[in-house]
Amino acid sequence: MSALFSPIRLRDLALPNRIMVAPMCQYSAEGGKANDWHFTHINSLALSGAAMFCLEATHVEAIGRITPGCLGLWNDATESALRPILASVRRHSTIAIAIQLAHAGRKGSSHKPWDGGQQIPLTEGGWQTVGPSPVAHKDGELKPLELDAVGLKRVRDAFVESARRADRLGIDAIELHGAHGYLLHQFLSPISNRREDKYGGSLQNRMRYPLEVFDAVRAVFPSKKPVGIKISATDWVDGGWDLDQSIAFAKELKKRNVDWIDVSSGGVSPQQKIPLSPGYQVSFAQAIKEATGVTTMAVGLITEANHAEEIVASGKADMVALARGMLYDPRWAWHAAAELGGEVFAPPQYWRSQPSSHKTLFGETTFGVR
């Protein structure tokens, strides 16, 4: 039996395989609201055969967006915009739906990637960003405002309110975004966190705010539903956040019954030097899993079915999350199941698509044609 296509349980969420469609920013929202692009994108990948689809980084307040086109879940309008899209998914797919709740911190107020990705000046429609310390992401950018006690509470409360909205929408799981140089990661990394209060300095202090946010979200999201987190295991910069600190953070999260850790890397500094290759981040997921026993997801240029199978079968990670590979091949899990002898969900309209050599790909769904 394929390890990749074996079931896994996250609290009350029973997943038929170990594949998640990773959260992928589309930079296409309008005022934080999902639209017809999201309808097309989400419904397409909901039929990928993966067990879970994680909505893109969904921001908890307007100034927490990366770009003006980023998705949000901070008011009734942004909540309402997602409702018909999710209803369509539920009508046509059995996939579990997760949402990645996020705040960009000092990396907000940026142009879309295809428009250069640079910070938008205040005079051109940008906004004042916030962060753990008044340290810009890179030279020449406007420094963020340091979050004071009032600001810290506001952002924490915003995560809580977005979690409540996610539950009202029937979302099955939450992933907090603590990676890629965004706000929670900014608190963790000594590169971006220069505070001298209880939220800065020592490792315990730098972990404090992300853990407070996790605790606050976990407290309001139904106990039967899982809450995970995405982290950057290393900054890829000397003197920055690293694997040993990530393991310490994972141990604290384990005490709080975190349901998974999605292990990525980088993003907090333009000085990072990342040695890209297929599965280049898998060893980080493996190290965290071995040190803590926490359920982990591996990410990072995983595109081949046999590679994903090996990651799970060897115990390096419990699940894999695919992003670019899913965009390139929206039926990636179908093809992986055919290659590995697995079985996936497909709507009956598509049952006749399975090759004659893989008649069990969609289970007992074959039928004749008159």
207: pLDDT strictly greater than 80: yes
Confidence of residue 353 (pLDDT cuts 50, 70, 90): confident
Residue tagged 């992300």 (tokens): 210
Please indicate, yes or no, if residue 369 is contained in any of the structural domains.
Answer: no
* DSSP state, residue 121: P
367: pLDDT strictly greater than 80: no
β-pairing, 8-10 vs 130-131, is: unpaired
Confidence of residue 362 (pLDDT cuts 50, 70, 90): confident
Please indicate, yes or no, if residue 33 is contained in any of the structural domains.
Answer: yes
Please indicate, yes or no, if residue 68 is contained in any of the structural domains.
Answer: yes
52, 95 in Cβ contact below 8 A?
yes
Q: CA-to-CA distance for 273 and 147, rounded, in angstroms? A: 29
| Cα separation values, 105 from 9, 155, 181, 321, Å | 33, 10, 9, 24
Mean pLDDT of 63-89: 98
Please indicate, yes or no, if residue 204 is contained in any of the structural domains.
Answer: yes
Please indicate, yes or no, if residue 199 is contained in any of the structural domains.
Answer: yes
pLDDT of residue 358: 64
Catalytic residue among 182, 280, 328, 350: 182
Q: Which domain holds residue 161?
A: 8-358
pLDDT of residue 360: 65
| 328 catalytic residue (yes or no) | no
Mean pLDDT of 58-73: 98
162, 58 in Cβ contact below 8 A?
yes
Q: Can you read off the two tokens belonging to residue 254?
A: 């384990």
In the chain, the number of structural domains is 1
Confidence of residue 262 (pLDDT cuts 50, 70, 90): very high
pLDDT of residue 255: 98
Assign 229 to helix, strand or coil: strand
Average pLDDT, the chain: 95
352: pLDDT strictly greater than 90: no
Mean pLDDT of 116-127: 97
pLDDT of residue 361: 72
6: pLDDT strictly greater than 80: yes
* DSSP state, residue 350: G
CATH number at residue 94: 3.20.20.70
**21 or 350: whose pLDDT is higher?**
21
357: pLDDT strictly greater than 70: no
Q: CA-to-CA distance for 226 and 8, rounded, in angstroms? A: 13
Mean pLDDT of 240-249: 98
348: pLDDT strictly greater than 70: yes
183: pLDDT strictly greater than 70: yes
Please indicate, yes or no, if residue 41 is contained in any of the structural domains.
Answer: yes
Single pTM value for the model: 0.95
pLDDT of residue 364: 46
Here the contacts of 317-320 (C-beta below 8 Å, separation 24 or greater) are 317/263, 317/282, 317/285, 317/286, 317/289, 318/8, 318/18, 318/260, 318/289, 319/8, 319/18, 319/19, 319/20, 319/260, 319/295, 320/4, 320/18, 320/19, 320/20
